[in-house]
Amino acid sequence: MQQSAQFSTRQRILGAAEELFAERGFAGASLRQVTAAAKVNLAAVNYHFGSKDNLIEEVFRRRLDELSRRRLERLARLEASGTASLETVLDAFITPALELSLDRRGGSVFMRVLARAFAEHNNNLRKFLSDNYGHVLKEFAAAFARLLPHLDKDELYWRLDIAVGALTYAMADFGMIQRRSGDSERAHRELMARHLIHFTAAGLKA
């Protein structure tokens, strides 16, 4: 295995796939479109990833591994320092996603891909995500349970479910709110994260 002076074929494919999956969906983006955008040969996808389905999983793995690590790291730090509150725990969940979406190298599109995964009721994909990253949600749910002891288990899960919906939708930039021409992309997204934490904290403790 050798590394090109530029980006490796693997990474070029992953980047192009991420972008096209966000724009046209998993079924809507063909491997020919992906390999053309990545400027690599068509057969390279099956050589490096085995199949289109494996490529899709790898697009998630590339981002979610680090995203999950950062979220859990922040949560652990809050618990250790005894500064865990509704707002700080929400921040621990949202800020890593915000940082990812601000990453120069196409992190923002990935959040759209992630939202598509929710829209897909594809069982294989859901199982893959649940198996590999379900423990992150579980840890955060436990933290919220400690912060909202007056809520019974059912009530808590209802609210967390709704909260995840709001977060997913907002981070994927589905909404109708356009960035104000004066604001930078960074400022726009940071503002959104602040509103998101404020709104969700209120809903959780309502």
Q: Which residues of this protein are in contact with its own copies, per CB under 8 A?
A: 22-28, 112, 115-116, 118-121, 137, 155, 157-159, 161-166, 168-170, 172, 174-177, 191-192, 195-196, 198-206
Inter-CA distances, 197 with 1, 26, 84, 190, Å: 44, 30, 14, 11
Query: Distance between CA 172 and CA 101 in Å, rounded?
Result: 9
Q: Which of 11, 37, 52, 132 binds DNA (CB under 7 A)?
A: 52
Closest among 67, 50, 66 to 13, alpha carbons compared: 50
Tokens matching residue 59: 């697009």
Q: Which 20-39 residues touch DNA, going by CB under 7 A?
A: 29-33
Does 51 participate in binding DNA (rule CB under 7 A)? yes
Q: Which of its own copies, DNA, none does residue 7 bind (CB under 5 to 8 Å by kind)?
A: none
Tokens matching residue 71: 């979220």
Does 43 participate in binding DNA (rule CB under 7 A)? yes
Q: According to DSSP H, which parts of 39-184 are helical?
A: 44-49, 52-81, 86-102, 107-119, 123-147, 153-171
Residue with tokens 């990253």: 133
| CB of residue 166 to its own copies, shortest distance in Å | 4
Q: Which of DNA, its own copies, none does residue 199 bind (CB under 5 to 8 Å by kind)?
A: its own copies
Query: Distance between CA 31 and CA 37 in Å, rounded?
Result: 10
| CB of residue 9 to its own copies, shortest distance in Å | 26
Smaller CB separation from DNA, 29 or 111: 29
Does 46 participate in binding DNA (rule CB under 7 A)? yes
Residues of this chain that bind DNA (CB under 7 A): 1-2, 4, 8-9, 29-33, 40-48, 51-53
